[in-house]
């Protein structure tokens, strides 16, 4: 059951990154592609009906993590106290930016909250990328599975690490570039005219940077955390995952350059999902490695809740996910199609 719950948590994280990823990416490129008030309203409307629903996956993933691996939840949420507080404020600021911008008919008011939306979305992506890199690299867990990380220490990847070092900063930039491409393909899918063309142009220009950073990711991760490829070396068929990542990048490139917006967006979804699956496959069965050595690692075996709770919880989890999936299918079908530059709806 531990392995099943490990992959259930991983699936929910993947769902959050794929769904809320295009919301965040849209926010990061918002001020780059939307020139007029009408265009900004159109960009907001591409995510307006779904952005808060997409964040349900974050809450559900956190709740599932708390239920299945309480030791991991307790250790990570106390050790990452500072970045979690920053992320909480950024989530609040992002929601305010989306919801409040149209409450007052003033250019200054709208510009202020547009800035909140773009700024918070960009920083959220960077912090999420750095957070994932912290998990991959390892944190200074002691023998009691307790740690605390400051924002930075010496920018090295071993010993008493900080949240930010050379590896996590690169990962944050990679996350930003990846979600900007993801957001650009979403905006291109949902809009028409000049706004559509600018979204496609931005995706084409940023995509080479994403390819370079992705290609550099494996060797850099191997330097930051020796033994990253041990699972792949032990099970050679797993190398199909990085191969599939490369194929997904080629597909994004091809579809963006040939005007296939839906295929480009779905390829971007596949890229994000495969990157995350590759990371958790490299970690398994460790869920939080220690930078002081493997003896202090938190694994799915020493972090899991009781066997009975896992079996009963799986039934309720399945029922809840059926409801959530039904809601998401209904929501996305209701708001399918392209938004109009003028007016209020689709």
List C-alpha distances in Å: 211 to 127, 214, 228, 251, 273: 21, 5, 21, 12, 16
Residue entry with tokens 């003028």: 342
Q: What is the pLDDT of residue 342?
A: 60
What is the fold, at CATH topology level, of the domain defined by 2-334? Formate dehydrogenase/DMSO reductase fold (1.20.1630)
Q: Give me 81's structure tokens.
A: 């106290």
Measured CA to CA, the distance from residue 180 to residue 310 in angstroms comes to 37
Q: What is the pLDDT of residue 346?
A: 46
Q: What is the pLDDT of residue 276?
A: 93
Q: What is the pLDDT of residues 162-197, one digit of tens each?
A: 888 899 999 999 999 999 999 999 999 998 888 889
- Predicted TM-score (pTM) of the model is 0.90
Residue numbers of the chain with a pLDDT score lower than 50: 345-346
Cα-Cα-Cα-Cα torsion 53, 271, 115, 50, nearest 10 degrees, comes to -20
Residue 271 · residue 252 · CB < 8 Å: yes
Q: What is the pLDDT of residue 81?
A: 84
Q: What is the pLDDT of residue 65?
A: 87
Measured CA to CA, the distance from residue 120 to residue 23 in angstroms comes to 12
**Could you say which DSSP state residue 238 is in?**
G
Three-state DSSP string of 270-295: HHHHHHHHHHHHHHCCEEECECCCHH
Domain ranges of the chain: 2-334
Q: Would you say how long the chain is, in residues?
A: 346
């Amino acid at each position: 059951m531990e392995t099943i719950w490990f992959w259930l948590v991983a699936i929910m994280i993947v769902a959050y990154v794929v769904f809320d990823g295009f919301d965040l990416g849209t926010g990061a490129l918002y001020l780059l592609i939307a020139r007029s008030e009408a265009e900004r309203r159109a960009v907001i409307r591409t995510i307006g009906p779904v952005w808060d629903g997409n964040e349900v996956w974050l809450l559900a993933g956190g709740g599932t993590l708390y239920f299945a691996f309480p030791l991991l939840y307790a250790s990570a949420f106390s050790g990452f106290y500072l970045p979690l507080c920053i992320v909480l404020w950024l989530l609040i600021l992002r929601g305010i930016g989306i919801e409040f911008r149209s409450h007052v008919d003033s250019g200054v008011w709208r510009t202020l909250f547009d800035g909140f939306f773009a700024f918070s979305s960009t920083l959220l992506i960077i912090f999420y990328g750095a957070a994932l890199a912290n998990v991959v690299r390892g944190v200074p867990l002691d023998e009691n599975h307790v740690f605390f990380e400051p924002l930075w220490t010496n920018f090295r990847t071993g010993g008493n690490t900080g949240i930010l070092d050379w590896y996590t900063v690169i990962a944050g930039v990679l996350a930003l570039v990846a979600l900007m491409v993801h957001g650009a393909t979403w905006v291109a899918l949902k809009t028409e005219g000049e706004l559509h063309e600018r979204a496609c142009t931005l995706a084409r220009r940023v995509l080479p940077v994403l390819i370079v950073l992705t290609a550099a990711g494996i060797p850099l991760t191997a330097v930051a955390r020796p033994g990253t490829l041990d699972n792949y070396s032990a099970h050679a068929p797993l190398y199909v995952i990085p191969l599939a990542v490369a194929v997904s990048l080629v597909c994004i490139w091809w579809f963006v350059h040939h005007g296939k917006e839906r295929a480009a967006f779905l390829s971007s979804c596949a890229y994000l999902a495969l990157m995350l699956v590759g990371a958790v496959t490299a970690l398994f069965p460790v869920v939080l490695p220690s930078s002081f050595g493997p003896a202090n690692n938190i694994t799915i075996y020493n972090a899991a809740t009781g066997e009975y709770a896992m079996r009963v919880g799986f039934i309720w989890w399945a029922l809840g996910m059926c409801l959530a999936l039904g809601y998401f299918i209904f929501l996305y079908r209701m708001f399918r199609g392209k938004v109009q530059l003028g007016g209020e709806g689709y």
